[in-house]
Amino acid sequence: MKHRDHSKLLAALRQEYERRSPRSAALQAEALRRLVDGGSHTLRLVQPFPPRIVRAEGAYVTDEDGHRILDFWQGHYANILGHNPPAITAALREGFAGGFGLQTGFTDRLQVETAELLCRLTGAERVRFTTSGALTTMYAVLLARAFTGRDRIMKIGGGWHGAQPWGLKGVDFHGENHSRFHHVETKGLPGAIAREVLVTRFNDAEMLEGLFRQHGDSVACFILEPFMGAGGFMPAEREYLALARELCTRHGAVLIFDEVISGFRFHAGAVSQLYGVRPDLATFAKAVGGGMPVAAVAGRADLLQQAGRGGGVKFSGGTYSAHPASMLAAKVMMSHLEANAREIYPPLAALGERCRRAVEAAFAAEGLHAVCTGNGNEALPGSSLGMVHFPYREGTRFRSPEDNRNPDVCDVVLGDTVVQLALLLEDVFVVHGLGALSTVHTEADIDRLAEAYRRAARRIKASL
């Protein structure tokens, strides 16, 4: 399969970008002296250099060069109320003014109330807080392995659960001669990870049944996102989740739902509740923290109790776990989402739908076939997420990451790299072609986005 060559277009886009962003360019040169690649999170380090932000408010961020950028990245999909929402910043300001906010090394009423709220809204029996999504999935796996006394982990090819040992296999697509989604992603891991992590295909019931038939009695847990995030913004089919539940129960494995992206994104609670499928453990982060580093493992009391005294699992420590300001932000955020659910979620989903279709139409007008995933299904009442793909063939179905990360099926460079830079030149920021809507994005913002896409599409078309 001959892939399209976008190098000329990319070079032209980069040149133009460099010309219009001299201050961010100068900061990049400075950054490279001390920071690896100029920063601490690869996805933020847009090439040739990222726009360096000085201000963020609502749907927009402003960079060093004075560009006011319409943002669909929104804090890695965390900012469901937009950047620096007054509901959160006012509470934090009040907390700090009253002598409460930075780490104390003690515990407080707020953590108790935040735990109560999270459990009530998600149906969990117990919760323990930590500071990042990666830590939650690592601890969840640890709890599952300890509980079952087994070593094997089952995960989805293309599923991203953060940079922790058991999540670092089968994330990126490696072509024909490698192992597709069966590759270990980093040097430095214990060799056992390659053997102990089994990778299966999202929404593929037959493959799941086969794997459980073969290995079920040695599997500690099956971890998956009920709504696939970085792997392509695709919902699990209802029967697939029900089957996962049934197979885990039958084989004594722990079912873990990673709801780091999906939790509180579709309603004020877990996506599992919308499907009517109950996992044994679930992980939450992003939206829950209201822009602060809050993450949680929640679920069955007997599993989580292993983290307690005498329980044997070292899910503990964390100087900044359940940080007072973070707990405050989380409590305010979850309360706000619950209290205003009706005004928040249906309009957000409607805007998401409008946005996805507008993006497809903009490319279609230039004769380019683009598909924007992120749709809900019969279990999920709409969605505020979107990811853009350029399949070589019309009619390609998107059910698993194999359908969108395989460069023989989709033009991955166009969807990820070209579109991002072309839109940045229009002062619009997207990741994987689009991103997440927030409650402060307006219809006018979507019109602006559509116009930016039309201009980008014309440019791309002219280069092909």
Binding window for ligand PLP (CB under 6 A); candidates: 44-52, 120-128, 258-266, 379-387: 258-266
Extract the tokens encoding 53.
């932000």
Quick check: 401 binds ligand PLP (CB under 6 A)?
A: no
* CB-nearest residue to ligand PLP: 133
154 lies in the binding site for ligand PLP (CB under 6 A): no
Span of 55-63, 132-140, 307-315, 336-344 interacting with ligand PLP by CB under 6 A: 132-140
Phi first, then psi: give them for residue 103, nearest 5 degrees: -65, 135
The residues in 61-80 that bind ligand PLP, with binding defined as CB under 6 A, are 76
Cβ proximity to ligand PLP, 216 vs 289, nearer residue? 289
CA nearest to 442, candidates 59, 18, 4:
59
Least Å distance, CB 230 to ligand PLP, is 5
Assess contact for 141 and 135: CB atoms under 8 A: no
Strands 227-228 and 234-235, sheet pairing: antiparallel
Q: Which residues contact 241 (CB under 8 A, 6 or more apart)?
A: 226, 272, 275, 277
Largest CA distance in the chain: 66
Residues of this chain, 211-240, that bind ligand PLP according to CB under 6 A: 225, 229-230
82 binds ligand PLP (CB under 6 A): no
The DSSP annotation for 55-67 comes to EEEBTEEEETT--
Which residues face 71 on adjacent strands? 429
Q: Tell whether residue 181 is a contact of ligand PLP (CB under 6 A).
A: no
Q: Is residue 260 near ligand PLP by the rule CB under 6 A?
A: yes
Residue 449's CB: how many other CB atoms inside 10 A? 23
Q: Is the CB of 162 or the CB of 435 nearer to ligand PLP? A: 162
Q: Which residues contact 464 (CB under 8 A, 6 or more apart)?
A: 4
161: contact with ligand PLP by CB under 6 A:
yes
Return the number of the residue (225 or 403) whose C-beta is nearest ligand PLP. Answer: 225
Q: Which of 50, 162, 226, 235 binds ligand PLP (CB under 6 A)?
A: 162
- Where do the DSSP E strands lie in 225-359? 227-228, 234-235, 254-258, 281-284, 295-299
Q: Are 168 and 194 in contact (CB under 8 A)?
A: no
CB of 99 to ligand PLP, least distance (A): 29
Q: Does 134 bind ligand PLP (CB under 6 A)?
A: yes
State the number of binding residues for ligand PLP (CB under 6 A): 15
Contacting range for ligand PLP; rule: CB under 6 A; set: 28-36, 133-141, 209-217, 455-463: 133-141
Helix (H) or strand (E) holding 219: strand 219-224
Q: Which of 452, 417, 413 is nearest to 431 (CA)?
A: 417
Nearer to ligand PLP, 114 or 164 (CB): 164
Q: Which of 21, 137, 326, 439 binds ligand PLP (CB under 6 A)?
A: 137
Nearest-angstrom CA–CA distance, 336 and 331 = 8
Q: In angstroms, what is the minimal distance from the CB of 326 to ligand PLP?
A: 12
Provide the H-helix boundaries in 21-132: 22-34, 74-77, 86-97, 109-122
How far is the C-alpha of 314 from the C-alpha of 143, rounded, in Å? 9
Residues 299-318 that bind ligand PLP (CB under 6 A): none
In the list 80, 261, 330, 437, the residue contacting ligand PLP (rule: CB under 6 A) is 261
Q: Rank residues 24 and 132 by Cβ distance to ligand PLP and give the closer one.
A: 132
Closer by beta carbon to ligand PLP, 196 or else 225: 225
- Among residues 104, 55, 74, the alpha carbon closest in space to that of 385 is found at 74
Q: Report if residue 133 touches ligand PLP, rule: CB under 6 A.
A: yes
Q: DSSP string of 170-195? A: S-S-B-TTTTBTT-B--TT--THHHH
Tokens of 47: 């090439």
285 lies in the site for ligand PLP, by CB under 6 A: yes
Q: Minimal distance in Å, beta carbon 295 to ligand PLP?
A: 6
Residue 295 or 456 having the CB closest to ligand PLP: 295
Choosing from 160, 266, 284, 390, the residue that interacts with ligand PLP (CB under 6 A) is: 160
Q: Which residues here bind ligand PLP, judged by CB under 6 A?
A: 76, 132-134, 137, 160-162, 225, 229-230, 258, 260-261, 285
